[in-house]
Amino acid sequence: MSTFGQYFKVTTYGESHCRSVGCIVDGCPPGMELTESDIQPQMTRRRPGQSAITTPRDEKDKVEIQSGTEFGITLGTPIGMRVMNENQRPKDYGNKTMDLYPRPSHADWTYLEKYGVKASSGGGRSSARETIGRVAAGAIAEKYLRIAHGVEIVAFVSSIGEEFLFPPSNEFSLPNSPRNPEFLKLLDSITREKVDSFLPVRCPDADASSRMEQLITDFKEREDSIGGTVTCVIRNAPSGLGEPCFDKLEALLAHAMLSIPATKGFEIGSGFGGCQMPGSMHNDPFIKAAAVKPSGQYSQTARPRLTTKTNNSGGIQGGISNGAPIFFTVAFKPPATIGQAQQTMTYAEEEGVLEAKGRHDPCVVPRAIPIVEAMAALVMADTALAQHARSSARSLLPALKETIPVEETRSV
């Protein structure tokens, strides 16, 4: 359905050609300062039209809070949010040729199979516009995580086509290896400001960024498209997040990421490269964790005493966060809408050639950055609240006798 999360819950609505898109966030902690200005920046980062290499459509995407706050403070009740669809242009997709064909690798055909209604929105909820509600909700989640736990979530472009930020090499057979110290160093320090200083590509390296931009321009000129990968790091995550068995933290993150339009893959920590490493190298030995920095509003949040020397685990062991940086990479396919003519078949089972008119992005990866961050924030807020419930409940029980060794639950 259109709901994500159990404790910090977001429900979205809206497609490309309706009145508005939006969401309801249920479960936001009460007593937090929150206004539209906390949400708008990520909305704006998601917007198309930020440079020559993205679509010129300018939708403004101004978010309006409908409920759940008073005088800029959250009440703990559901937060309704809405963004108008100002620039609907329904004719664009509605021309005669487009009506006849299900667009290849688009959702037109599968939506028709599913719902039996052929709408001018086509596979309406598969549109990138649907992600607006997620980004709005994610901005709230991440504000809570930042204030309460000092959590930092930063995503960046790690490849476009075959241009990589950390390319495979003789030493590391796959990109983004956690055995590569340069990669780990970037994860420890990268900020959103740094990422955005490399607009329009959002790959935080001048050389790689320039190669990627050129590649995208080439594809644009050929009326073709290209995909890439986004890598995301979550720093200062509390330990103990993620629910055993079905709702392991990496399972929830994978669910979240593969729910973003145009995604084809997900890997956590060592990922597919980890399959090729011996256990003796892949295992992350424990070491003493650095003392927590004493200052800051979230310093009351206890950090674990131990951490790991290496981080092939990507911050998650047994489905549960260990306090180390969590990082993962998401694969995005090339956009299905291309200007080139395509030999395909009509709804009426007649062969023909489809030529797509209108705006289209040669590459959506740079715009996916805030969406990846938003979905990561939703997963982290949801699992943090689940752990709050557990550890708070446990704290009311009497201390155990010495029959089995017991530590204090980490209060997240």
The catalytic site residues sit at: 17, 106, 361
Give the x-and-dash track for 152-191 against a second copy (CB under 8 A): -------x-xx----------x------------------
Closer of 49 and 298 to a second copy (Cβ): 298
User: Please, what is the minimum distance in Å from the beta carbon of residue 47 to a second copy?
Assistant: 20
Contact in structure between 387 and 243 (CB atoms under 8 Å): no
- The interface with a second copy within residues 331-370 (CB under 8 A) comprises 331-338, 340, 342-345, 347, 349
Contact in structure between 168 and 175 (CB atoms under 8 Å): yes
Query: In angstroms, how far is CA 50 from the centroid of its own chain?
Result: 19
Contact in structure between 110 and 43 (CB atoms under 8 Å): no
Residues 6+ apart with CB under 8 A from 186: 204
In angstroms, the CA 89 to CA 281 distance is 55
From 278, 290, 291, 293, residue interacting with a second copy (rule: CB under 8 A): 278
In angstroms, the CA 236 to CA 234 distance is 7
Cβ neighbours around 411 below 10 Å, total = 15
From 77, 95, 191, 214, residue interacting with a second copy (rule: CB under 8 A): 77
Closer of 233 and 241 to a second copy (Cβ): 241
- The interface with a second copy within residues 110-129 (CB under 8 A) comprises 110-121, 123-126
In the numeric block, the tokens 């241009």 are attached to: 163
- The interface with a second copy within residues 305-324 (CB under 8 A) comprises 305-306, 308, 312-314, 316-323
- The interface with a second copy within residues 371-390 (CB under 8 A) comprises 384-390
In angstroms, the CA 92 to CA 88 distance is 9
Determine if 14 is a binding residue for a second copy (CB under 8 A).
Answer: yes
Can you read off the two tokens belonging to residue 327?
A: 């990082």
User: Please, what is the minimum distance in Å from the beta carbon of residue 54 to a second copy?
Assistant: 15
**Phi–psi pair at 109, nearest 5 degrees:** -70, -45
Determine if 132 is a binding residue for a second copy (CB under 8 A).
Answer: no
Is omega for the bond preceding 261 within 30 degrees of 0, making it cis?
Answer: no
User: Please, what is the minimum distance in Å from the beta carbon of residue 296 to a second copy?
Assistant: 11
User: Please, what is the minimum distance in Å from the beta carbon of residue 26 to a second copy?
Assistant: 5
Give the x-and-dash track for 250-269 against a second copy (CB under 8 A): xxxxxxxxxx-x-xxxxxxx
Conformation bin of residue 31: beta by default, left when phi > 0, alpha when psi is -120 to 50:
left
Cβ neighbours around 398 below 10 Å, total = 5
- The interface with a second copy within residues 187-206 (CB under 8 A) comprises none
Give the x-and-dash track for 208-247 against a second copy (CB under 8 A): -----------x--x-xxxxxx---------xxxxxxxxx
- Which of 15, 34, 27, 42 is CA-nearest to residue 371? 42
Contact in structure between 353 and 215 (CB atoms under 8 Å): no
From 285, 293, 294, 295, residue interacting with a second copy (rule: CB under 8 A): 285
User: Please, what is the minimum distance in Å from the beta carbon of residue 82 to a second copy?
Assistant: 7
Determine if 50 is a binding residue for a second copy (CB under 8 A).
Answer: no
